[in-house]
Amino acid sequence: MKAYLILEDGTVFTGTSIGSQREVISEIVFNTSMTGYLEVLTDPSYAGQAVVMTYPLIGNYGICHEDMESRKPWPDGYIVRELSRIPSNFRCEDTIQHFLEKYDIPGICGIDTRALTKILREKGTMNGMITTKAYADFAEPISRMKGHSAAGVVMKTTTKETYVLPGEGKRVALMDYGAKDNIARSLNQRGCQVTVYPADTPAEVVLAENPDGIMLSNGPGDPKENVEMIQEIKKMYQSDVPIFAICLGHQLMALANGMDTYKLKYGHRGGNHPVKDLETGRVYISSQNHGYVVDTDNLDPKLAEPAFVNVNDGTNEGLKYTGKNIFTVQYHPEACPGPLDSGYLFDRFLKMMEVKN
């Protein structure tokens, strides 16, 4: 069936419908990863967005449920150049077409994703519509697109109940703001007992359990929307518990301490972004998925110091808080998909908890 991608600037791409055939309006973003499309689809940070995969062939090794980063896929829509209809891999359990249909995710294939990505890079991230309806006049759908915004996506993705991954080592409280499973897994593999809390859990409840450390997870949406969570993080900051934060957690910790965040023109999404450790000068290749960053132009060194910087555009990629056992990063040390260069940050967190005790 024929499908259309309509952007709010009036650009129209014509292709073939994949997945669900329902109409959807969403923010259109692109991911530059060459592999790991299942991990991208099941990353809760994509809630409220439709994802363009810049790599031209998607689905060639099918679906392996073991590789999922959460219980279900989260994007509003999926946009690819070519969809492999016949996957080939010894671990393959399903096709990506059936996977999208099962979870009611609309998509489009057969369009020029290179041209689409260039538009998003030049004009910035914008809303768009995936539809199988042939509109004679685009004024009405474009009007709806311009009024669209994703809200409440953290509470949409977070766990509904507290649960525990048993371990014999340090006890870590993981605040789930839309966490990828590999964050808890990375801690658990290092011997930690990980207690995963819903995003709206009061700080008093978490601190009452006397954890050895607190982990603030990644997640979707505009960080400034999460006013109540920011207030709870401020209470965690004021405790003496070591804290490690990733992505949205990094932004929320900054906002809790009076810093500001702003939206990037088209974000950082992919498994090939270079970040520089300002302490050692070493550059790591990182996995990233974010549209907002922390503004460090007027950062008070008495509060925190930049720890990492994006080599491509100079934006902040991490903070070390002065006088506190707290460090935060904008990128994903747990990767999936992406390189494992930054996995050592979990070991750094463990050492912080050892020193605390």
Cβ–Cβ under 8 Å, residues 75 and 48: no
Answering whether pTM is above 0.85, one says yes
Tokens (6 digits) for 87: 């996957």
Cβ–Cβ under 8 Å, residues 258 and 314: no
Whichever domain contains 120, its CATH number is 3.50.30.20
- For residues 142 and 209, membership in a common domain is answered with no
- For residues 126 and 103, membership in a common domain is answered with yes
- Among 115, 135, 150, the domain boundary falls at 150
Q: Is 189 annotated as a binding residue?
A: no
What is the rounded CA–CA span in Å between residue 250 and residue 179?
Answer: 13
- Among 86, 116, 150, the domain boundary falls at 150
What is the number of helices (H) and of strands (E) in the chain? 10, 19
- Look at residue 335 in the predicted model and tell me its pLDDT: 73
Q: Is 45 annotated as a binding residue?
A: yes
**3-state SS class at 40:** helix
Q: Is 289 annotated as a binding residue?
A: yes
Whichever domain contains 316, its CATH number is 3.40.50.880
The share of the chain scoring above pLDDT 90, in percent, equals: 94
List the pLDDT tens digit at each of the 357 positions of the chain: 999 999 999 999 999 999 999 999 999 999 999 999 999 999 999 999 999 999 999 999 999 999 999 999 999 999 999 999 899 999 999 999 999 999 999 999 999 999 999 999 999 999 999 999 999 999 999 999 999 999 999 999 999 999 999 999 999 999 999 999 999 999 999 999 999 999 999 999 999 999 999 999 999 999 999 999 999 999 999 999 999 999 999 999 999 999 999 999 999 999 999 999 999 999 999 999 999 999 999 999 999 999 999 999 999 999 999 999 999 999 999 877 777 888 889 999 999 999 765
Tokens (6 digits) for 50: 């439709």
- For residues 112 and 175, membership in a common domain is answered with no
- For residues 28 and 146, membership in a common domain is answered with yes
- For residues 56 and 27, membership in a common domain is answered with yes
Angstrom CA distances, 106 to 28, 74, 210, 221, 275, stand at 13, 12, 44, 20, 34
**3-state SS class at 251:** helix
- For residues 117 and 212, membership in a common domain is answered with no
Q: How many residues does the chain have?
A: 357
Radius of gyration of the chain (CA): 20
- For residues 100 and 33, membership in a common domain is answered with yes
**3-state SS class at 79:** strand
Neighbours of 90 (CB within 10 A): 6
Residue identified by tokens 């809630």 is 47
What is the rounded CA–CA span in Å between residue 334 and residue 343?
Answer: 6
- Look at residue 339 in the predicted model and tell me its pLDDT: 78
**3-state SS class at 170:** coil
Q: Is 248 annotated as a binding residue?
A: yes
**Domain tally for the chain?**
2
Per-residue pLDDT tens over the stretch 302-355 = 999 999 999 999 999 999 999 999 999 999 998 777 778 888 899 999 999 997
Per-residue pLDDT tens over the stretch 84-126 = 989 999 999 999 999 999 999 999 999 999 999 999 999 999 9
Q: Taken in order 157, 242, 353, 279, is the CA torsion positive or negative?
A: positive
- Look at residue 356 in the predicted model and tell me its pLDDT: 63
Neighbours of 98 (CB within 10 A): 12
What is the rounded CA–CA span in Å between residue 195 and residue 175?
Answer: 9
The interaxial angle of helices 248-256 and 227-238, nearest 10 deg, is: 70
Q: Is 219 annotated as a binding residue?
A: yes
What is the rounded CA–CA span in Å between residue 255 and residue 250?
Answer: 9
- For residues 166 and 56, membership in a common domain is answered with no
Q: Is 221 annotated as a binding residue?
A: yes
- Among 150, 168, 194, the domain boundary falls at 150
Domain with 188, as residue range(s), is: 154-356
- For residues 104 and 138, membership in a common domain is answered with yes
Provide φ and ψ at 245, rounded to 5°: -130, 145
Cβ–Cβ under 8 Å, residues 257 and 299: no
- For residues 215 and 192, membership in a common domain is answered with yes
* Residues labelled as active-site residues: 247, 332, 334
- For residues 186 and 280, membership in a common domain is answered with yes
- For residues 318 and 236, membership in a common domain is answered with yes
Helix %, strand %, coil % of the chain (to 5): 25, 35, 40
